Structures are given as C-alpha cells and as structure tokens.
Structure 1
C-alpha cells in the first residue's frame, strides 16, 4: 500500500492479519493449542523474563488472539490491546492493575446492570470501593474525587437507555484528579465513537456484543491508549514499582506507552486466568470484518423504529439520542454523527405489566439478555438485567418498571415495525 493511513473498513478486514506463513491460509487460523515449543533454553528464559515477545501458553497469549488484539487496537486508535474471556473479565483485569484494597473508583450511575452489580457487590471482596456519579451532572464527578480515587469509569453510550456520555468533559475531571478515564465502548463500537480521540486512557469492550455481532461467542478486550503517565505520584505501584516476579522490571519504564496493556497481560491475565478461547477469537474476528456495514444498518433501523414508537399512542416516551427531541441529541451529533447506536429504551403507559406483556407478544424480536446481535432483541430490564436494584436505583439507571429495552438488528425495518405494531395492539 501507499503511505496513506488505511480507512476504518480496511482496518476492520486487514489489521493485525497476514497470510499464514506456513500454509498460506488467508483467513487467520485457529491456533487451538495450550502451549508453544521454545527454540532453546535461552529463548524460554527470555520469554518468561519479559525480555522478548512470543508465545508461551494460551492463558497468557495466542496467535489467533493476537490478531484480534491488534485489530481492535487499530480500530480504537490505541497502542496495544488484550483480549480476555468476557467484558466482565476485562473490567476485573483493568481495575486489578489500578486499585489496592481500600481504594476507590468513580463510576457513572448509568451503566449496564451487570456492571452495577459487579462494582457494588463483587468488588467489595477485593476491598475496591465504587463511588457513583451522575453523567448528566459533570460536577458530581468532581465532588466524588478523594485522595483514594484511582480511576473514573463511564460508558460512551449507556446501557440500557442509549444516553450519550460527555466523554471530553469527564476526561477533564480525570486529568485534574490525575487518574485515568476508562470508557466502556461496547454499545457504540469504534465505528460510531472512538473514546481515545476524546480523552479516554483505557477502553474496554464486551466483544460479545457489536464487535462479534452474531450472538455466538463471548469475549472482552482492553485497549491501552498509551496516554497516561503511570509513574506520577506513586499512585499505581503495579506499573511504576519494581515487579518481583520479573526480576525488578518497572513496567512503565520498560514498556512506555503500552505498559498498561503489558501489565494487564503479565500481572492480570497470567494470574487471574480469564483467557479467551482461540476459537472465540476467530469467530469475533470474522464478525469485525463486517462491523462498518452492520453498525450503519443497526443505526438506520434503530432510528426508524424509534420514530415509529415515538408516534404510537401506547408509548409514553422514547429514549433514543438519534431523535431530535431527545435530551442527548446534541451530544450524539458531537460524538456519534454516523448514528446514535442500536440500543435504546421506551416507556409504556401501562407501566410494569404492560412492559412484561409486550415482551411476551413480540414474535420477530428475541426475548433474551444480550445486545448487539444481527437479530433484534428485547428485554424488560426491571424484571431481569436490573432486577437486583431497588426501584429508585432502577429509575436512576434508566431501567424503571415501565421501561422496555430494544437492541435493533439488521432485518428489514418494516418487519420490525410490523412486529412492534401487532404486539402493542395486542
């Protein structure tokens, strides 16, 4: 190729991949192996001592997974990435590098229900404490900062309501506090929003959703922006202090602008063990090749469905940033001009019972706990994904009792609208 930088669609197909040097296979092979043969004793020692890059054991790294990591890093504009077993695993591995027992991180209150549960309950056993802030009130993030704060966590497009987060404004708060900004970019995908361009230091994804796109493989990924100085102030000893398990190497000093990705691999993935299956990596890579085509269709369909629902007499309100009347529309125009995503919520005039009834009447929409599939999906969050929250917390997170969440697929929009019409009429 010439010296020009490849476009997004070209990267989605080619980044990280080369024909297999042994067989000439064009598609990335599935390296379904647990371990790899060393050249000799010195080679093995250099790999284990972080003095050379290479393959040791699939729990730590695998050639199929490496192509996936390089591809997503390229799409997000990061310096390096690490693939893991799920989006939840990505969050655990990221925060393990940043937090010590007793430390805090600030999280936007509008998050996926599973993340709220993980942050509130599971992380307590590690001594990690979450402090909640309101993404509609940037000052609430500033007020939440304490000397124990080590990170800020937000979603670019929030689940379930599809609200757009002001990444740049919250990045300013993180910079002032001297902590990294972590952005879950699952619902947007890098096709719609690249958080690193707006001040994010770390990006995470559930690869299970739009990047994989076909509802057939679990996965998660961590992208290092290479923008944060981990040596400042001694806040992050996992990166700035000598690591005894690697003969005193300081990861920040040795690996520079991809030190965080290295730390996640050799301190997190190695010891916690949430490795991604090479087969799942292969499936997700295949999905990413069509990401630009799928995401545009997702967004176009979602806008048409949201417009239909906004005019239906049984619907009380629609929360979709692609609608000009939506409170997040201006943020959507700024951060996601190609489309406001494919996941949104709407409220029914009949309340909780109407939401449960609608889900049971839909025929083309699949009732299940996932988003980002080629198929259109529906769920009633208050009785499922956000059921662990009390009523007040459900409302604050955008999952009130009358709310239904849709993940719009790539079917014909006329068929989706017809299914919703018959269900609402029933």
Structure 2
C-alpha cells in the first residue's frame, strides 16, 4: 500500500514510501475534490472509498491478501465469523427461501441457521454430510438457494466432501458455501475443488493470537448468477440506483453486492486496528499451520494409546473414518484441533480439564497457546440432546486445540491430568 510522505526537513526526500507493515488508516471518512466526485463514487463504489462502515484502506489490504491466499476474485472482511456466515447467505436468500447445510457444523452456526434465520423466514435443511448422494439430492426443494458446509467441522472434525457437494449443488443451480476456518488456505483451497464462496472466522488460525475477532467472505467469481434462480443479481437493485450487479460487475457481482447492499446496511465491518492485528497473524500463517499439524499428530497418537480415552477424532490418524478424505482435501495436515472422548462421561471430562496446567480452559480454539473446551457445556450448550448427537457431540467429548508450545510439554500436561482422574 503506497502512502504519501511529506518530510518535515527541507531538502530531504524519502527514497522509499512503501511501509514495511500495513499502515493503520484511522479514519472514518475520506475527502473528495468536488461534489461531483462524491456523487460518482456513490454511483460506482469501485471508483474510490466512501465510508469506513464498509471499506477502509487497512482492511482492504488484508482483504486482498486473504483473497490471494484463497485464489478468489474478491473478499470482504466482517466483524466476526458469524457475521461472515450470515452475510454470505443473506446475499442470496430472502424470506421464503431455503438452503441446505451439513449437520456437523459449529454449534453457534447451527443456532444461527436453525433459529435466527428461521425467524427471518429462511429455512435451513440439515443433512448428514456422509449420506449417499441420492439422499442429499432428495433434500432439495424448489426454493433451495445454497448449500453450506465446513471443510473441517468444529468440533466434530468431520471432513466435508467438497467435490461431492459441489456437484450436487451445481446440478441444482445453487452455489456451495464452505467455511474453511480450521484448515485455512494453507491446508485446503476449496475453490480448487468446486466451492463457490468461502467464509472464515479469522478469529481462529488466521489471527492465531487471540487478540481480535473477525471474519471474511471470499468470492470465487465462478458461479453463474444469471441462471434464472437469482433475480437479485440480474434485476435492478432499487436500493442502489437501479444497479444490475451481473451487468455492471460481471464475475465480481456477488462480492460487490455483499458490500454495497449488506455491509452498507448492517455495518458489521472490522476496524483498521483489527485488520492490522489480523495482518500480523497472516504473515506467519504458513509457518504456524505446519507446526500445529506436527504437534497435533503427536498428541493424537499419545491420546489414542491412553487407557483413559475411549476414542480419538483426528483425521490425520490412519484409524480415522475421514482419513481418506483428509488425504484428498488436506494432504498437508488437518489443523491443530483434536476431539476425544474420555471414559467416564461428562463429570470425568470436566475433572480432567480442570486438572490441566499448561492448557487453558477457555472458549477459544486455534490459538498459539494450547486450549481446551467441553463443547456440551460451552459452545454447544444451547443445543438439544438430539442436536448434540447430530453434531457428533458426546458428554465426554473434549475439544483440545494444540498450540505451539514444545509438544513434550503438552503431552506431559495431559499425562498428569490423566493421573489426577
């Protein structure tokens, strides 16, 4: 990002005005040369910046970086991962529409889909992602407008068969939206397997340091919005000067509409400061993801051999039911998150977790520090017993997010906690 530099010392001109880090543009607004210039930007917001409720130079620099990592045509950051998931769907759906989602997704997203969107008149049809294609096809309705899944489910760690769902979605003329939070584009690039839209909670591995929340939507630019099922892209938008998004913005119609229409109205855009922190995390993402995977595999192998553990769920293990899918979509590793069921159920799981010393008991995951959580009593607490089962949540299930500490120290901490029970 180039910035203008005015030197305070006469006669000295800087040779390089390119900063080493993305500068923080701490401003809500921008100055124009004339009223006509302002009007022109409101007619076409791609010409210049308008207002930091939905665009800011610091945030846009990060958007460009994430877009490049995923191989998309454009990206838009949001204030949280939940906001990214919400806007990715509201950009397509309206009251009276439905969409299909894998049942094994993050509990907060289940709540968003099953309850909040239902209040808005949008139906979510949950399906077993491992079901036969015929069963999934049967779930579609005439008003179904999208399919949603997580590359690596939180915390069930089910590997989503992206190509299978992309094929089914496209047969029905709808886009496939993938939450790629756990793998990040370092471990999986869903667009290469047929996905159309990607969302992330950047709060997790992209940030990596638990310093700020955020989300992002990335558009592949590959979906055909002119197939007759999405008139909001092909007919004039009366809320924005009659703009026809596919006509004016072509392949970028989806992501431009999301910014011009939804971000304008909802305003859930991150601050420049938040984007600055996120950028610092992105600069080490490729190194961190490799180490997370190496540490987690060693921890998973230790857990698998422990007598107190009923089962271990980590797709990189050869014994895992998703191992073959993991080799296909996640050949370089399956993140640092492990879920395992401890013998003795909920009470034993809680006692074990409270005995850990190095690992932090917290409502977070994908941090540089090892952290642990009991999903049934925390992130998925709002779900019914039936929904917990559908999400793959057992009362003795523990989500263990392996950090970047020395792996021997992590295993020693587990060993002493097992001894305590």
Number of the residue aligned with 2:195: 200
- Give the alignment partner of residue 32 of structure 2, picking from 30, 34, 38: 38
1:2-151 counterparts in 2 under 5 A? 18-22=1-5, 23-50=17-44, 52-139=46-133, 140-151=135-146
Shift of 1:407: 1.0
Contact 1:19-1:28 within 8 A present in 2 as well: no
Residue in structure 1 matched with residue 417 of structure 2 by the alignment:
423
Give the whole-Å Cα distance in 2 for the aligned partners of 1:197 and 1:283. Answer: 28
2 CA distance for matches of 1:388 and 1:246? 38
User: Would you say the 8 A contact 1:394–1:400 is kept in 2?
Assistant: yes
Q: Does 1:176 align with 2:166?
A: no
The whole-number CA distance in structure 2 between the counterparts of 1:27 and 1:52 is 24
CA distance in 2, matches of 1:270, 1:424: 51
Question: Which position in structure 1 is the counterpart of 2:185?
Answer: 190
Within 5 A, what are the aligned runs for 1:10-409?
Answer: 18-22=1-5, 23-50=17-44, 52-139=46-133, 140-233=135-228, 235-409=229-403
Give secondary structure in 1 for the equivalent of 2:91.
helix
1:103-149 Cα deviation digits (max 9, x unpaired): 10100000011001111111122111100011111423212111010
Report SS of the residue matched to 1:173: helix
How many Å separate the matches in 1 of 2:168 and 2:338?
Answer: 27
* Residue 39 of structure 1, CA deviation: 2.1
Structure number with larger C-alpha Rg: 2
The answer to which of 214-223 and 130-139 deviates more is 130-139
When residues 311 and 149 of structure 1 are mapped into structure 2, their CA distance, relative to the original with a 3 A threshold, is: same
**SS of residue matched to 1:261:** helix
Report deviation, 1:238.
2.3
CA drift of 1:245 comes to 2.6
* 8 Å contact from structure 2 (residues 102, 128) kept in 1: yes
Partner secondary structure for residue 287 of structure 1: helix
Indicate the residue corresponding to 2:14 in structure 1: none
Q: SS of 2:388's equivalent?
A: helix
Structure 2: unaligned runs, 5 residues or longer: 6-16
Q: Which runs of 4+ in 1 moved over 4 A?
A: none
Q: CA deviation at 1:394?
A: 1.0
Supply the RMSD in Å over aligned alpha carbons. Answer: 1.1
Alpha-carbon contact 1:19-1:27 (below 8 Å) kept:
no
- What is the deviation of 1:20? 3.1
Q: Distance in 2 between matches of 1:319 and 1:138?
A: 22
Asked whether the 8 Å contact 2:240–2:261 carries over to 1, the reply is no
Instruction: Give the superposition deviation at 1:51.
Output: 6.1
Partner of 1:14: none
- Separation (CA, whole Å) in 2 of partners of 1:118 and 1:333: 31
- Check the 8 A contact 1:97/1:239 in 2, yes or no: no
Give the whole-Å Cα distance in 2 for the aligned partners of 1:361 and 1:19.
51
**TM, length-normalised to structure 1:** 0.94
**8 Å contact from structure 1 (residues 238, 263) kept in 2:** no
Counterpart-to-counterpart distance in 1, 2:199 and 2:152: 13
State the TM-score, normalized to the length of structure 2. Answer: 0.95
String of CA shifts for 1:11-47, please: whole Å, max 9, x gaps: xxxxxxx353435422111111111111211211111
Secondary structure of the structure 2 residue equivalent to 1:82: strand
- The aligned length equals 408
SS at match of 1:297: helix
Residue 424 of structure 1: how far off its partner (Å): 1.0
Q: Equivalents in 1 of 2:22, 2:350: separation in Å?
A: 43
